[in-house]
Amino acid sequence: MRRPDVTVIIPTRERAATFEHCLRTVTDQRHRSLEIIVSDNASTDGTAAIAAANADPRIRYLNTGRRLSMSANWEFALSHATGEWVGFLGDDDGLLPGGVEDMLRIASSTSTRLVRCRPCDYLWPPLAGGADGRLVVPARHRTDVVDGRAALARLAAGEVHYTRLPTLYSGGFVHRDLIDAGRGPDGRFFRSQIPDVYSAVRLAALGEPFAYTTRPYALNGISGMSTGISVFARTQAHDKAKPAKLFAAEDNMPLHPTVPASATGGPPPSIQALVFESYQQVRELEPTLPALDPHDQLAIILRAAALAPDALSEWASRFARANNISAPPRPPLASLQGAWERWEPRLRMDRIIVSDHHRPQVGNVHSAALMAQAVIDRDRPSLAAILLNQARFAATMLQARFGRSEAA
């Protein structure tokens, strides 16, 4: 039997409400040589019924049979993938119409075996503040071929976000030969608690060039059930903390000895700390990788966490002890760094924001994917049009905020 061109893996657990719309964005793909693996982590909320009700023959429904950790579920799903290209999609994420074909076209035109797009961002309701979601679509499109090791060095220095590297997640697709090249002696690919961050580090460490495009073919969803939102939210209300607590209670693989857990026993609430943890794990497989200085890394971690430095102060002390750092760094200008990180995404002129608090248009990730494609298919907006869009969005958000205050 001919191997499928592409495998899209959707690992899921107890998220039927978002999974249904995510799956629809994948079954909407016109590409026929597509394998869709649903890896159900022993859900009890109707996830299996949603998959069974879909008659698309490209779907392969798998059930782990018992609760696994996130990385174990991803490894389980990966072991069943048969496509030449493989990518993971979160169960609150989506693909744009024609996304699979767009990815294959980019891979062919750049002659690369790693492809990563800058996805659209979609904030699910009610996180967006109403019945409608909030959609952000990149407005300026270009494709570059990037050296993997050079990108990894910039990541380790805190200069780029891990999503700028060739992750296996929500916009990242990898040729299966490179997945095999990234496996450890035991045959496992994922060797860290946070599989998407680990995949970025592991694949970049292979030293292959990868294609990075700002023309999106995927959509990154952010919902109240997102584990990342739960772990990294600055406020830990019960509904936000629940996914993080479940994650911490799972039988996860241990963190690298140089990276202590958070006070709750889970991963440290810092993306840059997770980058360092994954780098340490990968370096055991790739000893030619340059060693990272823990003192310098702690300074980078604290600088990146300048928005909420108190959340890391106790963890930073334990990190210093674990790595024999006698004088933990206190980076200057932390508040300025934090202010920039807070406002820079809102000031960028390379995106179109789609939000309508009066008429729901993007109430789920499937409708958001259709809307995003409609925005992309229009003529490229001018800078004036983008500025006008930003101004309208700011006015809408102010009106919504003051409206809620008056109602209260």
How much is the pTM? Answer: 0.85
In the three-class reduction of DSSP (H, G, I as helix; E, B as strand; rest coil), residue 192 is classed as coil
pLDDT for position 309: 59
Task: Give the start-to-end residue ranges of the domains of the chain.
Answer: 1-377
- Give the DSSP letter string of 60-128: EEEE-SS---HHHHHHHHHTT--SSEEEE--TT-EE-TTHHHHHHHHHHHHT-SEEEE--EEEE-TTTT
Among 166-170, 250-254, 374-378, 380-384, the range with the most confident prediction by mean pLDDT is 166-170
In the three-class reduction of DSSP (H, G, I as helix; E, B as strand; rest coil), residue 277 is classed as helix
- Check pLDDT > 50 for residue 77: yes
Mean pLDDT of 279-308: 89
- Is 102 buried (19+), middle (13-18) or exposed (0-12) by CB count in 10 A? buried
pLDDT, one tens digit per residue, over 18-46 is: 999 999 999 999 999 999 999 999 999 99
- Give the DSSP letter string of 10-32: EEESS-HHHHHHHHHHHHT---S
- How is residue 9 annotated by DSSP? E
Which range among 82-86, 119-123, 215-219, 387-391 shows the weakest confidence by mean pLDDT? 387-391
E strands, 179-327, are 209-213, 218-222
**Greatest Cα pair distance in the chain:** 64
pLDDT for position 152: 97
pLDDT for position 407: 36
Which CATH fold topology does 1-377 show?
Spore Coat Polysaccharide Biosynthesis Protein SpsA; Chain A (3.90.550)
From CA 364, how far away is CA 361, in angstroms rounded? 9
List Cα–Cα distances, 210 to 97, 200, 207, 254, 305, in angstroms: 23, 11, 9, 30, 28
